[in-house]
Amino acid sequence: MASTDRVLRVGMVCPYSLSVPGGVQAQVLGLSRQLRRMGMEVRVLGPCDGPPPDTFVTALGNSLPTASNGSIAPLAPDPACALRTMRVLFDEQFDVLHMHEPFAPGPTMTATLLHPSPIVATFHAAGESASYKYGSAPMRAAAKNIGHRVVVSKDALALVQPAVPGEYETLFNGVELDVYRQSVEYPTTGPTIFFCGRHEERKGLDVLLDAMAQMAPDVTLWIASSGPDTERLRARTAADPRIVWLGRISDEEKVARLKGAHVFCAPSLHGESFGVVLIEAMAAGTCIVASSLNGYRNVATDDVDSLLVPPGDVAALAAALQRALADDQLGARLTAAGNRRADDFSMSALAERYAEIYRMLAPTRVQQRRPLSPWLLSPRRTRRSRMMTK
């Protein structure tokens, strides 16, 4: 049966722990849900620190905190994860493998090197990366196994293309719009600002807390998630009852608070390749105040669908927040434009394009398919066993 006449079996591989909140993880899970709604058989493979977040997720073990792109990434570069990855690929025999960050240490790099099926690779990262700077030679060798390359923004392209030249298709990240538009609002008791991001330098939470010193006494700031700076920042603001530290929250609570807040603030300083969180706020009908980073400008336009300020400028951030909270007409204009802008980034449209790419690559599986066994790929196999497999 032709590949277009049967259900394609897709292995979606994520290098980051799927039980830890993150932009790539959200894309992997959201895209997989949409593809499954379209009738494709998709399984997500990745590390998990705890129970898998959904029934279609295959856990590959725990992650190890690893420095990456100015942050700490929950990667799984250990041999045990590599062996689990090999075992799953042997058992499942997918028609297509979709790697997110294919050169990240862990299951994506393992699967890319093994190349048991045609590969689609999506590159998310932007900014500075020592891995791309100093590891371009092995990356170029591994890239020969990739059948179709995708970047999520021009900033992601600027990072990967010098290290791994070639053709890339730009496909912006997607959002499950109905989830945000149909959610119930979390109740508020006054003007409320919402921040949701890892508590580390590049996310700019220090700047937002400095700006809060200039906010009115009735303004509340919700701060979700956690990170290496949490304890320091909480101690710094312990005397301010306007600041509510939520810790890690569920996806459902995140959506409800995003929809209930008057302003969503993204004060990041660097390292953002694409503003998915801004699209989520737009779909929720929430006014946006954010840094004017290149990654955010892929999505938002100042004074059209958001207010954008120079990164790290406390006075400008405070002024924009005050303006957004005080001017109802401005807020209504920005949120209406943002809601229209969100339509350009629907997860359903993104999934349709990826499905086309999978179908384009799937016919080559007949020629490329080879039996994949953890034993045959083991570095400990003997010369005799190699001869026997020829």
Q: State the CATH number of the domain containing residue 239.
A: 3.40.50.2000
- Whether the predicted pLDDT of 375 surpasses 60: no
pLDDT at 369 over 90: no
**Strand ranges inside 178-273, DSSP E:** 192-196, 220-224, 243-247, 263-266
Domain boundary among 308, 326, 344: 344
Residues 169 and 251 both lie in one domain: no
**Looking at the structure, do residues 256 and 362 belong to the same domain, yes or no?**
no
Q: What is the pLDDT of residues 283-299, one digit of tens each?
A: 999 999 999 998 899 89
Coil/strand/helix, residue 368: helix
For residues 13 and 119, the answer to whether their CB atoms sit within 8 Å is: no
Q: Does residue 45 sit in the same domain as residue 119?
A: yes
94 and 219 fall within a common domain:
no
pLDDT beyond 50 at 378:
no
Q: Are residues 138 and 116 in the same domain?
A: yes
**How high does pLDDT run on average in the chain?**
89
* pLDDT score, position 71: 66
Contact 19, 51 (CB under 8 A): yes
Q: Are residues 228 and 201 in the same domain?
A: yes
The residues that bridge with 121 in the sheet, in sequence order, are: 99, 149
pTM for the model stands at 0.80
**For the chain, what percent of residues have pLDDT higher than 70?**
90
pLDDT digits (tens, 9 = 90+) for 257-278: 999 999 999 999 998 878 899 9
- Distance between CA 367 and CA 78 in Å, rounded? 31
Count CA within 13 A, CB hemisphere, residue 175.
24
User: What is the H or E stretch that residue 67 is in?
Assistant: strand 64-68
158 and 96 within one domain: yes
189 and 324, same structural domain? yes
Q: How far apart are CA 210 and CA 229, in angstroms?
A: 15
Bridge partners, residue 74, by sequence: 65
Same domain, 105 and 8: yes
Q: Are residues 224 and 330 in the same domain?
A: yes
Question: Residue 184 gets which letter from DSSP?
Answer: P
Q: Which of 326, 344, 362 finishes a domain? A: 344
Angstrom distances, CA of residue 19 to CA of 63, 291, 365: 10, 28, 31
Query: What six digits make up the tokens of 285?
Result: 């009908």
State the DSSP code for 187: P
Which pLDDT score is estimated for 127?
A: 80
**Cα separation, 283 vs 243, whole angstroms:** 25
Residue 258 confidence (pLDDT): 97
Structural domains of the chain, count: 2
**Domain extent for 193:** 177-344
pLDDT in tens, 79-97: 999 999 999 999 999 999 9
Tell me the pLDDT tens digit for each residue of 20-79. Answer: 888 899 999 999 999 999 999 999 999 999 999 999 999 999 998 876 655 678 999 999
Q: Are residues 45 and 186 in the same domain?
A: no
Higher-confidence position of 41 and 370: 41
Based on the fold, state whether residues 188 and 236 are members of the same structural domain.
yes
